[in-house]
């Protein structure tokens, strides 16, 4: 073989190896930091638990997942942003109970909570907790109901927005107990805690993790949790079932979803990273300390779960008479 031919072959070999290397680099995933859209404000339970999980998930996934809080309209604003985001596998959405609720509460939404997303898995479940301002003369649910009935329309309750689980939980409570309370929606749950501690607001239902430190410090008085059994983190607080409200059970949940059209290989990689993250003893301890339980699922099981939750909350909305204000 002459020198010219050898040179041509060497060039060809370099080009082929370069192409193979480039193809391998193109397949690397994730290849940049990710964006985690979280549809509620900083300081609330969705944010607290979302950040705990995002930290461990990032370590397993191999890239930083940057939390992007997009509160507004009970989670609708952030959900719309996520639904319209690029399906490149680097945008992940904190998909929670409010998706199932708003689907039944609003006749028109700028997205469809099932068709516009690929659901990946749950990662956490928790109860809501009923708290009142410490100055209110009510030591239990029965006393709170009696007091509220004696002062119809006088007491105000906080929520994290119209259509969020704290709003619908209280509306269901109102319908079940036969009381009249004024709804005050907040853009961020943390401000609702503060105003209840000060007495500006008299009561609320919020996800357990956010109020729990204030309850333990005596800044809020807890009357009940919405789970079927008492929460292990606050075993002294009874359930609503124990407090004379049969069939009143609400479990709050959070998971991950991605915009529709995200390649299946990326969906599988995100799910695998979630499952590995949820195996971490350190994460499970941090979850427990915060008031939640780990809840891994397959994508198929998660979708069926959301479908069932959507049906359940539509019935609850009809029973409570809750409307978009």
Q: What is the DSSP string of 60-117?
A: HHTS-EEEEE---GGGHHHHHHHHTS--SSSEEEEEEHHHHHHHHH-S--SS-TTTTE
The segment(s) of the chain belonging to CATH 3.40.190.10 are 127-225
d(CA 241, CA 229): 9
Given its phi and psi angles, is residue 53 left (phi above 0), alpha (psi -120 to 50 degrees) or beta?
alpha
The crossing angle, in degrees rounded to 10, of helices 76-83 and 97-105 is 100
Q: Provide the whole-model pTM.
A: 0.83
The three-class DSSP label of residue 297 is: coil
Supply the pLDDT for residue 307.
98
**To which H or E segment does residue 38 belong?**
strand 34-38
Residue 258 makes CB contacts below 8 A (sequence gap 6+) with 87, 89, 91, 92, 93, 117, 118, 120, 266, 267, 270
Q: How many CA atoms within 13 Å lie on the side-chain side of 308? A: 7
Residue 107 makes CB contacts below 8 A (sequence gap 6+) with none
Residue 163 makes CB contacts below 8 A (sequence gap 6+) with 73, 74, 75, 76, 98, 101, 102, 105, 106, 324
The crossing angle, in degrees rounded to 10, of helices 45-61 and 264-278 is 110
d(CA 44, CA 64): 22
The segment(s) of the chain belonging to CATH 3.40.190.150 are 34-125+251-320
Q: Are 201 and 157 in contact (CB under 8 A)?
A: yes
The CA-atom distances, in angstroms, between 88 and each of 34, 84, 249, 259, 270 are: 10, 12, 38, 9, 12
Quick check: bond before 30 cis, omega within 30? yes
CATH superfamily of 127-225: Periplasmic binding protein-like II (3.40.190.10)
Given a cut of 50, the residues of the chain with pLDDT beneath it are 4-6, 8-9, 11-25
Supply the pLDDT for residue 3.
52
Supply the pLDDT for residue 174.
96
Q: Are 291 and 209 in contact (CB under 8 A)?
A: yes
CATH superfamily of 34-125+251-320: Bordetella uptake gene, domain 1 (3.40.190.150)
d(CA 237, CA 215): 10
Q: pLDDT per residue over 238-284, tens digit each?
A: 999 999 999 899 999 999 999 999 999 999 999 999 999 999 999 99
Supply the pLDDT for residue 320.
82
């Amino acid at each position: 073989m002459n020198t010219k031919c050898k040179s041509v072959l060497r060039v060809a070999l370099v080009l082929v190896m370069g192409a193979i290397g480039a193809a391998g680099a193109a397949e690397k995933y994730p290849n940049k930091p990710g964006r985690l859209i979280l549809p509620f404000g900083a300081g609330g339970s969705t944010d607290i638990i979302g950040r705990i999980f995002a930290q461990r998930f990032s370590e397993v996934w191999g890239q930083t997942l940057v939390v992007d809080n997009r509160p507004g309209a009970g989670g609708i604003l952030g959900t719309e942003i996520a639904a319209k985001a690029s399906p490149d596998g680097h945008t992940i959405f904190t998909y929670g109970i409010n998706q199932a609720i708003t689907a039944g509460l609003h006749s028109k939404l700028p997205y469809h909570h099932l068709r516009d997303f690929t659901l990946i898995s749950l990662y956490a479940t928790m109860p809501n907790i009923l708290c009142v301002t410490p100055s209110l003369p009510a030591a239990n649910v029965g006393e709170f109901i009696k007091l509220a009935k004696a002062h119809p329309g006088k007491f105000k309750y906080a929520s994290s927005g119209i259509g969020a689980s704290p709003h619908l939980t209280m509306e269901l409570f109102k319908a079940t107990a036969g009381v009249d309370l004024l709804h005050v929606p907040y853009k961020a749950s943390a401000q609702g805690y503060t105003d209840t501690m000060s007495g500006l607001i008299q009561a609320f239902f919020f996800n357990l993790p956010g109020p729990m430190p204030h309850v333990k410090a005596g800044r809020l008085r807890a009357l009940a949790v919405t789970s079927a059994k008492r929460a292990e983190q606050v075993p002294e607080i009874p359930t609503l079932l124990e407090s004379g409200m049969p069939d009143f059970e609400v479990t709050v949940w959070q998971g991950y979803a991605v915009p529709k059209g995200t390649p299946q290989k990326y969906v599988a990689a995100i799910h695998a990273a979630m499952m590995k993250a949820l195996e971490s003893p350190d994460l499970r301890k941090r979850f427990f300390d915060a008031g939640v339980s780990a809840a891994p699922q397959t994508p198929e099981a998660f979708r069926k779960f959301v479908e069932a939750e959507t049906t359940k909350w539509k019935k609850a909305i009809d029973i409570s008479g809750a409307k978009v204000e």
